[in-house]
Amino acid sequence: QKEVEQDPGPLSVPEGAIVSLNCTYSNSAFQYFMWYRQYSRKGPELLMYTYSSGNKEDGRFTAQVDKSSKYISLFIRDSQPSDSATYLCAMSAGSGGSNYKLTFGKGTLLTVNP
């Protein structure tokens, strides 16, 4: 079992739809959770960064972490064609040790159709 599982999609939605992207993980030591957006042939761009469980909202984006279920989500409201990209979840352990090592999901390819 891989440490981080992410459905690769592809996911295709109409403009304006609410998008839900998810990852599951197996390592209970993970404390930091991130979502990156990667456009084709570009580097990953940090979208959301959360610590431990709970919700975090930034504009049209909401990140949720449920540590009891080892499940994280990214919601995109009022999706736009410019949101079309690959979304990568990433996570790392808490303080100490190798907490700088990010473990990534394989990414979900999202297309928002105008």
Select 64 or 108, whichever has its Cβ closest to other proteins.
108
For other proteins, the binding residue among 23, 63, 88, 112 (CB under 8 A) is 88
For other proteins, the binding residue among 62, 99, 109, 111 (CB under 8 A) is 99
Tokens of 2: 């891989």
Given the rule CB under 8 A, which of 16-24, 28-36, 60-68, 75-83 is the region that contacts other proteins? 28-36
Query: Positive or negative, the Cα torsion across 36, 49, 23, 14?
Result: negative
Binding mask 42-61 for other proteins (x = CB under 8 A): xxxxx--x------------
- The DSSP symbol for 44 reads -
In angstroms, what is the minimal distance from the CB of 39 to other proteins? 10
